[in-house]
Each structure stands twice: as C-alpha cells, then as structure tokens.
Amino acid sequence: MSVSPIIHARHGLGTELVQDLWVAFRSAQLYEPTNETLKSAGQKLAACIRSLHELDQAAKLEVGDDIIEVNGVRVRMELHTYELYSKLRTFVNELGVGGFEWTALIDADEAADFAAVVGRYTTNGGREHVTLGARLTEAGIQNVKVLTRGGEIVHDPFAEADSLTKERVGVTYRMGVAVVRDLLESQREGRLPPRYRIRRAVQSIVDEVLTEQMLILGMTCLRDYDEPTFTHSVNVCILSVSLGHKIGLTRLELYKLGLAALLHDIGKVDVPKEVLNKAGSLTDHEWSVMQRHTTYGAWRLVSERTPGTMPAHEMLVAFEHHLNVDLSGYPKLYTPRELSFYSKIVGIADAFDAGTTPRVYKTDPITPARMVEILEEQSGTRFDPVLVKAFISVLGIVPVGSMCLLDTGEVAIVMTPDPSAKNLRRPRVRLIAAADGVRIDGPELSLTEQDDAGRYSRSIVKVLDPDKYGIDIPSHFAEA
C-alpha cells in the first residue's frame, strides 16, 4: 500500500488524539483531579499534542456533524475505533462547540486540567465557545482555543438519510462482522455456531438492502486490514443480496442467498492460520491448502446438518463459489456440472470483493473500477453474463465508492449509479476536491448534467486510489 509516510503518521496521530481526548474527558467525569487515571490520561494527551506539533507545527481538532478532522485531515473510522470516534463526536457536538486548537505545547498537568474543565462543562444555552473559553482561562489554561460550531466541515453527505438511519446501517454492518467472527471462532473451538444470531444478522442485511441499499453498499468499501475474512464475508453477503434484489428474488430467497453468502468461506477455519494469515505471497503448496477451503466448508455444513436446518444451497455455495461457470476454477471436478444459481451469484460478489480487498487471497488489490472490467472480460467464461450485467447495474461501471478524477480537474466519490442503463459511466458523485486541489465537502451532483450547448459538464477521466490520498470512503456513506 503506497501511503506517504506523512499522511500515514498523521492518520495514526488523528486516531490517537481522538482516543486520548475521549479517555481524558471521560476520566475527568469519573474521577477527582488527583486520580492516577486522569493524570495518566493527561500525560498521553500532552504527548499526542506534542507529536502533532512536531509533525505539522499545529494541533487542531475540528468536529462536524459527521466527521472529525485533525490538522485538516479527516480521521479515518475503523471498526475498532468506531465507539471512541462516535462518542467524542457526540460529546463535542453536545458541548455546542466546533473543536479545539492547541496553539502551543501543554504539559501533562495542564492537559488533565483542560480535560477536567471541558469534561465537566455544562452547556449554557448559546455562545458556548466563548463561555467554555472563559472557563479555561479562569482555570489558568492557556494556549487552547475553543472553536466555533458550524463552518465548512459540517456536512451531511446524504441529506435525505437522517443520522439515525446511518447509525442503524452501521450497526447492521458491525453486527454482521461480529457474528462472522463469533461463527469462525466457535467452529475453530468445536462449539456449535450461534445460528439464531447468524439468522438475525442476515435478516437485518436483507432489510437494509431493501430499504437503504446505497448506504449499506457503501459500507462494503470498508477494508479492515486486521479482519479481512470477517469483513469479506459480510461484504459478499451484502453484494450478493443486492444482486439478488436487482434480479427480483423474493425476500425469502434473498434471505437464503444471504445466509449462503455469509457462510461461503466457512471452510477457512480448517486452513492452518500460518497459511491464512501469511504476510507474503503463498507457495504452490500453501495455495493448494488454501484452495481446500471450499471442500472443507461443504464438509462442515454437511456434518452439521440436522433435518430442516441446513438447506443444500449453503453447502453448494461453499463448495462451488470458486469453480467458475466454465469449471475452470477449483476444486477440479471429474464430471461436468451446472453451478447452482446461488453459487453463480456469490461467485461474482466474491471475486469482486476479494479482488478489491488486500490480503484476502494475498494478491495486490485492484480498484473497484478495474475489477468491474475484469468481470466484463470474464463474463461468459468464469461468470454468468446475465448476472454480471445485473451486478454492474447495481454498482455502475465505475462502482459505488470509487474515487475519480474528473475532466474539470475536480476529484469526486461515486455515490450511486445512474438509474438508466445508458449512463453507466455517469453516476451521481460527490465532489471532495476542487480543481485547485483544495478539499471540499460536496456538492453531490449527477454526471449526466449538461451545459446549455448539450455538452456534459463533467466526465470521469480516471479512477484514483483513495489510500494514496488518505480518503476514508465508508465515512461518506454511513456511520462506519
């Protein structure tokens, strides 16, 4: 992953500042100023502010309705930092201020005092930045500016989706990931998998696809490097159900498809961890071990089968999802067969997500847009052509979540495909950088817009790699 060291360092520090600040505020609410927990939280906060000054000669935290920025760079939300991120954001929003700026270094005691004043502050009904600023001055805390609320970074990317909806979509996604983690761990330890939780997770995903499809699809751009197998299974479930919905499957069929998709890689629990988690590329032998996960998966599902609880399509999907329509994949079969319908769907969703996710199969990730081209190239051989067409109409040729350079020099994120099949290269996008490279938040517009002379106002020139620019794609869709 080619992230510049500066951006990388800043990202780490942004997350650290979010964490240190929240821990300091919370400690100040729970403990007396002399308490060791608060003192050590003050030390950490002061050290983090020092590191930010060393890196950027500034330490500024700005909190909007949806995002947090540190020194002008959006802090990325990851699964494990989600709680802290949303707690700090809610807390600062409820304070009625826009954030803080440490104009010079502060020591550990000052940091603990700062946390105590802010953590215990009760709002005053207006002009909070002035009142809170005055409290800090009274407490002898200098070099901290309280920022005003509002301004340029407050933005709602999906104005029509209220924050509760976005929160719910985020919860559905995280619940899916937690269930898959639990499922794989219980299988490894020989415990019975929590079937009712799996069923509930899949039902929630189906419900979101039927009501908030674009928000939940946006979540599949989440690439969690620590938990690729878990997020991959959830992504494949969401992508499969979205494709199933596009071709008109009923709710019950979508549920069955979603369940099979969520379980498709269950055989990976039988692949030794040294192979599964190997950092480098796999040897031929390791690769053949990895390939056995399809057979292992089918076998696990067969051996767990009790009448009425484990329908055959889950086993078929586990067994067939890497076979390909032309049977060119694995495992090698002695007698030709037609893949099950669900296996054809999951095969496409799986190839798309694995191809665009680092580490799932130890290959270099490719952009979603290139992956769509590959699906098209292999349509009719590896993949069912009708299903590939439907899949592309769900995601667009430049898929949802892609970051693109436009011919105007602006940079945008693809939010939804255009409803017309004629306009697959003209999705709705959200501008995130102006032509001069300055970061902006919105507006959202359609690339089908034309000027008075009938020329398209904007077109996609090329797809960019968001990691190179430190852009957090999922945060543009839902509460990741």
> For binding to Fe ion (CB under 5 A), which residues are involved?
265, 350
Alpha carbons 388 and 247: distance in angstroms, whole number: 11
Give least dist CB 321 to Fe ion, A: 6
**157 CB contacts (<8 Å, ≥6 apart)?**
66, 415, 430, 441, 442, 444, 476, 477
Nearer to Fe ion, 73 or 239 (CB): 239
Nearer to Fe ion, 113 or 265 (CB): 265
One-character DSSP codes across 66-79: S-EEETTEEPPP-G
For residue 200, report the phi and psi dihedrals to the nearest 5 degrees: -65, -40
Nearer to Fe ion, 265 or 286 (CB): 265
Give the distance, in angstroms, between the CA of residue 80 and the centroid of all CA atoms in the same chain: 11
Nearer to Fe ion, 128 or 350 (CB): 350
Nearer to Fe ion, 62 or 350 (CB): 350
Nearer to Fe ion, 208 or 265 (CB): 265
| Nearest of 415, 390, 9 to residue 221 by alpha carbon | 415
Give one word for 121, left, alpha or beta, with left for phi > 0 and alpha for psi -120 to 50.
Answer: beta
Q: What angle (nearest 5°) sits at the alpha carbon of residue 348, between those of residues 345 and 354?
A: 135
Helices (H), 224-328: 228-246, 251-262, 273-276, 284-291, 293-303, 312-320
What is each CA distance from 326 to 370, 393, 456, in whole angstroms? 22, 23, 40
Give least dist CB 234 to Fe ion, A: 11
Residue 163 identity (one-letter amino acid): S
Give least dist CB 229 to Fe ion, A: 8
Give least dist CB 297 to Fe ion, A: 8
Give least dist CB 353 to Fe ion, A: 7
In the three-class reduction of DSSP (H, G, I as helix; E, B as strand; rest coil), residue 160 is classed as: coil
One-character DSSP codes across 430-467: EEEE-TTS-B----EEETT-B-TTS-BS--EEEEE-GG
Nearer to Fe ion, 27 or 220 (CB): 220
Give least dist CB 232 to Fe ion, A: 6
CB 65 within 8 A of CB 154: yes
Give least dist CB 280 to Fe ion, A: 20
| Nearest of 313, 299, 349, 351 to residue 329 by alpha carbon | 351
CB 374 within 8 A of CB 399: no
Give least dist CB 212 to Fe ion, A: 24
Read off the DSSP letter of residue 362: S
Give least dist CB 443 to Fe ion, A: 37
Q: Within a 10 A sphere around the Cβ of 330, how many other Cβ atoms? A: 17
Give least dist CB 417 to Fe ion, A: 24
Give least dist CB 351 to Fe ion, A: 9
Nearer to Fe ion, 16 or 350 (CB): 350
Give least dist CB 292 to Fe ion, A: 11
Nearer to Fe ion, 371 or 415 (CB): 371
Nearer to Fe ion, 78 or 350 (CB): 350
Residue 292 identity (one-letter amino acid): R
Nearer to Fe ion, 172 or 240 (CB): 240
Task: Match 């906060």 to its residue by tokens.
Answer: 45
**389 CB contacts (<8 Å, ≥6 apart)?**
379
275-302 as b/e, with b when 16 or more CB fall inside 10 Å?
Answer: bbeeeeebeeebeebbbbbbebbbbbbe
Nearer to Fe ion, 276 or 390 (CB): 276
